[in-house]
Amino acid sequence: MLSVHSCGCCRVFAARAIQFQTTPSLFFSTPNYKSRVGTARRVAASSGFAGDSGSDLRQETIADTRTNYAGVRLEETVDNGIRSGKLRLDSWISSRISGISRARVQSSIRAGLVQVNGRVVDKVSFNVKAGDEISCTISELQTLRAVPENIPLDIVYEDEHVLVINKPAHMVVHPAPGNTSGTLVNGILHHCNLPNVEYSKEEALSNTEDSDDEFNSFYTNASSCEGLSSRPAVASIRPGIVHRLDKGTSGLLVVAKDEHSHMKLSEQFKLRTIKRVYVSLTAGLPTPVAGRVEVPVGRDPNNRLRMTAVAGPLNPRKSRHAASRYKVIEILARGGCALVEWKLETGRTHQIRAHAKYLGVPLLGDEVYGATRSMVLSLLRPRTPSGLHSKIVQMVSRIDRPCLHALTLGFKHPHTGQEVHFSCEPPADFDEILNQLRKISNEGAFFTKHSIS
């Protein structure tokens, strides 16, 4: 286990005895339990002409990222001022409709709703050029359904109002295209005896692609949950995914069980008063060994699966302020790796992963951010005797996710106002890699000592 903790696998801390109220929950009907177990706004883009600048495009800005873009039409000529080289059709359309996700545009292209010079083009990577006349209609939303599934949940704490869950690595938090079952949401629905949840693919795509890792909730139609809400003005309710962890990240996550708790917890995330500590294994040793990274994080224009941290004036316009504090807890493999603690001041998507790459020390197992097997081996081999190289290769080949764990979580309880803190040690796979790196360090020192003598 991590040497920085002497506790067991999980612990619950509080300044005094926790005595939560047992008032009825708005959304869930579960016993008190503690366990270790808008209307669319049309965007009418004016027709452009060769030579028009992009800034001349009269286009209505949509601030709400959940706006239904169904039926929005774009008719425009590709500007003569575009840079030479390849320009993808999906990328160009995304840049012309404010706030829309590229995934939504790609769905419309594949549906045959886009024409280039009067001909239907259903290839999202089709290259456009200056003078091409583009006609696009955004497709209707398609719904996803989350159904209750009997998935074992590692529940650190539960009462009438909140759930604190130790999410395992490889579990997706909420359904999305390609991951409609086996998610944390599916398990929560079963655990709390809730019915199916239906929501749009656009909501799922915004949560997985273009939004913060905070303030995200899955929505359910109020009419599908009898007794949950009778207010006619309420079109949907939020059963409480307040923040999320990446699929490959393990550790602590809080779930709100009623509207009041959701609101209060969301406020704490917004005010940055939630206490979150992560630990990671990095490929390389950060320099300096402790510090603060304040570099904006935004979508990588060359790879939609990852974010990028770019400092200075070249920072993309859609990047958002991001700040992380880090500290090396232990130097491993003679400087080839490190055990690093992270404290988040903001909560951007992939923030730690992007900031680690910015520091030149991507997380072990995080090939998306540069920690390929060849890169890791190039760091470890020169630092270890040749007799240990086979062990290194075996260890690296077994790493199947970014080595990142949400270690501690602290917040003010939304109903009692009491500060509560939870801690959970990293899972077995993380601990095994850590121990092997320590063993490599020790054996390497042993080999070096005896080779000198």
Q: Supply 339's token pair.
A: 């055990």
Q: What is the DSSP letter of 331?
A: E
Is 246 in the active site? yes
Three-class DSSP category at 367: helix
Cα angle: 51, vertex 52, 55; to 5 degrees: 145
Q: Where are the beta strands (DSSP E) in 177-284?
A: 197-200, 220-221, 236-237, 250-256, 275-283
Contact call for residues 211 and 367 (beta carbons, < 8 A): no
Task: Identify each DSSP E strand in 70-203 by its residue range.
Answer: 73-77, 114-116, 119-120, 133-137, 143-146, 155-158, 162-167, 197-200
State the amino acid at position 334 in one-letter form. Answer: R
Spatial distance between the Cα atoms of 162 and 151, rounded to a whole number of angstroms: 19
- C-alpha neighbours within 13 Å on the C-beta side of residue 60: 12
- HEC profile for 339-356? EEEEEECCCCCCHHHHHH
Smallest Cα–Cα separation from 129: which of 81, 72, 174, 176? 81
DSSP three-state, residue 290? strand
What b/e string do you get for 293-320 counting C-beta neighbours within 10 Å, with b at 16 or more? bebbbbbbeeebebbbbbeeeebeeebe
* CA–CA dist 169, 246 (Å, integer): 9
Structure tokens at 161: 């109002």
- For residue 43, what are the CA distances in angstroms to 75, 147, 202, 248? 11, 34, 17, 37
Q: What's the CA gap between 282 and 365, in Å, rounded? A: 9
Q: What are residue 114's DSSP bridge partners? A: 136
Q: Which helix (H) or strand (E) holds 265?
A: helix 259-270
Q: DSSP code of 425? A: -
Instruction: Exactly one of 212, 213, 246, 429 is catalytic; name it.
Output: 246
Residues 6+ apart with CB under 8 A from 94: 100, 101, 102, 105
Residues labelled catalytic:
246
